[in-house]
Amino acid sequence: MTYRVIQWATGGVGRAAIEGVLDHPDLELVGCWVHSADKDGRDVGELIGREPIGVEAMSDADAVLALEADAVLYSPIMADPAVVEQILSSGKNVVTPLGWFYPKDQDTSRLEAACAEAGVTLHGTGIHPGGITERFPLMVSALSNRITRVRAEEFSDIRTYGAPDVVRHVMLFGATPEEAADSIMLDVLGAGFIQSVHMVADVLGFALDPELRTSHEVAVATAPIDSPIGPIPPGTVAAQRFGWEGTVDGEPVMTAAVNWFMGEEDLDPGWTFGPEGERFEVEIVGDPPVQVSFHGLHPDSIAEGLERNRGIVATAMHCVNAVPYVCAAAPGLLTYLDLPLVAGRAAPELRGV
């Protein structure tokens, strides 16, 4: 069965998702919503650097939602629950990397009502938060007994992230430590990572303390650091660490963490990624202990990352590959725990008839 898909927004994740939908044997791209007027009316293939595909990008949300489609892959910079509700109410399933991974402590009544009334599903997925912090820890945990701690952590060079306005004005790289201390990122990121912590803790049976611990540390440049947002001056933020910990009787049992650096040189403190370099890690402390490192999700160079960041592509593909499973699922707000194992698809030249 072929499922008809609309892509909502064409940032880094959106462009990679369009590529993924076009290459997926079970999916057909039928529409695309864009924010900017200069993209309105353009062929979506041209927007992602391919030949025209006959699908026109539109900035009129009502016109996009009037299209006949099975699913919307929703990936603007920030999620708007009202828009998600509108999409669901139009009778379309939603897959998104922007939240609803495991929203046990959120008021989702309006979204659940929209799902029930329209007979559709909302599913949040991605890689971090998402697969690295939820799916893979739970999968790997099956190899251990008497688990006492779980850790899911990212180590990335943020110079490969091609969103300069976000890096400078939202993430606050190049700002003073005092400015960064008031960053919204702990809350923005925490909206997802807190759900990851609770999902893993609940499935494994940890009786978490009521409040999660959060942490935000910065390292400053000791010399000018070249970056895609311009030089990072000495004394300003050049590296950041964010963490969310679930505890039992004050002892950490589930940690989700992010390490974002503008390289590894000229930092105070002198943080590094360690001998393994950029990676994602999942660690289970139990009997036996298990640690898994994910390599290949980071670009080989800054230039490659700015052109096509593998981590962004992986985020998009986890969403794209989930679409057939979500469309086939029962209506509602469904997490990884409610769906079968999501898989990718073989390259076209290797597929059977």
Tokens of 330: 């029962």
Tell me the CATH number at 150. Answer: 3.30.360
> Domain span at residue 203?
131-296
Interval 28-47 mean pLDDT: 94
* pTM, rounded to two decimals: 0.92
Please check whether residues 112 and 158 belong to one and the same domain.
Answer: no
User: 236: closest CA among 226, 221, 225, 224?
Assistant: 221
Same domain, 138 and 277: yes
| 335 within 8 A of 96, measured Cβ to Cβ | no
Q: Judge if 150 and 244 occupy the same domain.
A: yes
233 and 286 within one domain: yes
Q: Which helix (H) or strand (E) holds 17?
A: helix 12-23
For the chain, the maximum distance between any two Cα atoms, rounded to a whole number of angstroms, is 60
CB 44 within 8 A of CB 53: yes
Comparing 94-98, 194-198, 348-352, which segment has the lowest mean pLDDT? 348-352
pLDDT tens-digit series, residues 157-182 = 999 998 898 899 989 999 999 999 98
- The mean pLDDT of 2-30, rounded to a whole number, is 96
Q: Provide the number of structural domains found in the chain.
A: 2
User: Within a domain: residue 307?
Assistant: no
Task: Kindly state the average pLDDT of the residues 71-88.
Answer: 96
- Does a structural domain hold residue 305? no
Q: How far is CA 295 from CA 15, 109, 132, 161, 350, in A?
A: 23, 39, 12, 17, 24
Residues 340 and 291 in one domain: no
DSSP states along 317-339? HHHHHHHHHHHHSPSEE--GGGS
In a domain, 303, yes or no: no
Question: Could you tell me the CATH number of the domain that includes residue 100?
Answer: 3.40.50.720
* Alpha helix ranges (H) inside 215-309: 302-307
For the chain, give the mean pLDDT: 95
The answer to whether residue 301 sits within a structural domain is no
Q: Is residue 8 part of a domain?
A: yes
Q: Is residue 47 part of a domain?
A: yes
Nearest Cα neighbor of 199 from 141, 250, 241, 143 is: 141
**Judgement on whether residues 292 and 322 belong to the same structural domain of the protein:** no
Confidence of residue 348 (pLDDT cuts 50, 70, 90): confident
